[in-house]
Amino acid sequence: MKQMAVFASGNGSNFQALVDAIKSGSLQTELSLLVCDNKNAFVLERALAENIKVFVFDPKQYETKSSFEKEILRELAIHDIDWIVLAGYMRLIGPTLLSKYSGRIINIHPSLLPSFPGKDAIGQALQAGVGTTGVTVHYVDEGMDTGTVISQREVPILSTDSKDSLQKRIQAVEHELYPAVLAELLRK
């Protein structure tokens, strides 16, 4: 069975959706490791509750991105990780990880890329006044949300939407789409 590591920095709702999909049998993988760059992230509590191993690091304790990515690579090797899945990981992946896991790092983003890449995509969409946004699952490359799109799903922006209400509807789509796309990728 393929071994998966999830990288996350915050609440971990997509992490939980993946755990739930694995438990239900709809996603055939083993989530072996959570990599987190924020010692206060709620996702750590989620991992602890699920008995999933955790590697937490503070990027400020390293001189370079390459040095902390080398340490992450050591952790990934210990757990025999096949795939890296980003779920709200708020850092660009550097060449150290990209070279080792090329074509095996996946991200989910709350917009229809290439529209609204980077931070606060939901706020960007609302500010732009567009009628629709959505969710994109894509391969990770060296750019900010520039990797090849694997799957997208539209989410209409309602005239009554606040940032919070739109985020909740986008997350509901993410929690369905991400496990489904990963299940398909892992079958190959």
The domain of 22 spans 3-109+139-152+175-187
Give the whole-angstrom CA distance, residue 173 versus residue 14.
10
- Structure-token match 């991105």, residue found: 65
Backbone dihedral region of 28: left (phi > 0), alpha (psi from -120 to 50 degrees) or beta? beta
> What is the rounded distance in angstroms from the CA atom of residue 24 to the CA atom of residue 184?
15
Q: Is 109 a catalytic residue?
A: yes
- Residue 187: what pLDDT? 85
88 located within any domain: yes
> Is position 47 within any domain?
yes
Residue 163 lies in a domain: no
129 occurs within a structural domain = no
Q: Say if 170 falls within a structural domain.
A: no
Cα–Cα distance for residue pair 174/137, rounded to 1 Å: 9
Tell me, what CATH number does 10's domain have? 3.40.50.170
| Residue-wise pLDDT tens digits, 96-125 | 999 999 999 999 999 999 999 999 999 999
Instruction: Quote the pLDDT of residue 132.
Output: 97
Q: Does 167 map to a domain?
A: no
pTM of the model: 0.95
Q: What pLDDT band is residue 61 in, cutting at 50, 70 and 90? A: very high
pLDDT of residue 22 exceeding 80, the answer is yes
**Is the model's pLDDT at 3 over the cut of 80?**
yes
pLDDT tens-digit map of 72-81: 999 999 999 9
Asked whether residue 188 carries a pLDDT value surpassing 80, the answer given is no
Please count the structural domains in the chain. Answer: 1
pLDDT score at 91: 92
φ/ψ (deg, to 5) at 69 = -70, -30
Percent of the chain as helix, strand, coil, to the nearest 5: 40, 20, 40
- Active-site pick, 79, 109, 138, 175: 109
pLDDT of residue 148: 97
Q: Does residue 43 form part of some domain?
A: yes
Kindly state whether residue 162 falls inside one of the protein's structural domains.
no
- Averaged pLDDT for residues 44-57: 97
